[in-house]
Amino acid sequence: METDLPRWVALLISAMLVTPFLVALFVVVRHHWRARTWARAEATVTKRRSEISRQGDGSTSTTTTVTFTFADKTERDRTGTAVNPAGEPRLGDVLEVMYDPQDPDRSRVVELGRRYVVMLAVFALLFVLGVWSVFVPLG
C-alpha cells in the first residue's frame, strides 16, 4: 500500500533533517573564527563542581562545571566558567582559554575536540538524508 505525502510534509521532513547540520556548521565556524581572532591565555582551574541528576528513565547524568582564572593581556585577572569541558580537569589543572580582546570577560576553553567533529559528522549525514529526501519521493 503506497501513501503519498503532501509535498509540504516532505519539505518539512527535509528541513528537519537539514537544520541540525546548519546549526552544527555555524557552531564550528564560529569556534574557528574565535580561535583566529580572540586572544589566548593559560588559565588555572580554581573550582570544580559536579552535579548528578536522575533522569525520568532511572538513569543518571553528571554535569561538571569548572571555574578558571587567567590574566588578560593587561595582566588583569579574569574569571570564566566551562560546563562539561573535555578531559575532566581537576582543581589546579591548567587549561588553554581564548577570550575576546574587546570584552575579556567573554572567555571559552579552547577545545574543538572529538565531540564537535562527531556531532558535525552525524549532522552531515542528516543533511545528506534531508537533501536526498527532497529529490526522492518519500511516500
- Asked if the model's pLDDT at residue 2 lies above 80, the reply is no
Average pLDDT over every residue of 109-118? 71
Residue positions counted in the chain: 139
Q: Are 42 and 94 in contact (CB under 8 A)?
A: yes
| DSSP notation for 60-124 | EEEEEEEEEEEE-TT--EEEEEEES-TT---TT-EEEEEEETTEEEEEEE----HHHHHHHHHHH
Run of H or E residues at 33: helix 7-37
In 3D, which of 90, 47, 102, 40 has the Cα closest to residue 69? 47
Mean pLDDT over all residues of the chain? 84
The pLDDT of residue 45 is above 80: yes
Q: What are phi and psi of 134, to 5 degrees?
A: -70, -35
DSSP type of residue 3: -
What is the predicted pLDDT for the residue at 75?
96
> What's the pLDDT score for residue 113?
57
47-91 pLDDT, tens digit each: 999 999 998 898 898 889 999 999 999 999 999 999 888 778 899
What predicted TM-score, i.e. pTM, was given to this entire model? 0.66
Question: In the prediction, which pLDDT does 30 show?
Answer: 86
CB 97 within 8 A of CB 80: yes
Q: What number is the average pLDDT over the span 99-103?
A: 96
Confidence label for 137 from pLDDT (cuts 50, 70 and 90) = low
| Three-state SS at 28 | helix
Confidence band of 1 (pLDDT split at 50, 70, 90): very low
How many Å separate Cα 113 from the centre of its chain? 10
Nearest to 109 by CA among 93, 120, 129, 126: 93
- Domains of the chain, by residue range, sit at 7-134
Residue 135 has pLDDT above 60, yes or no: yes
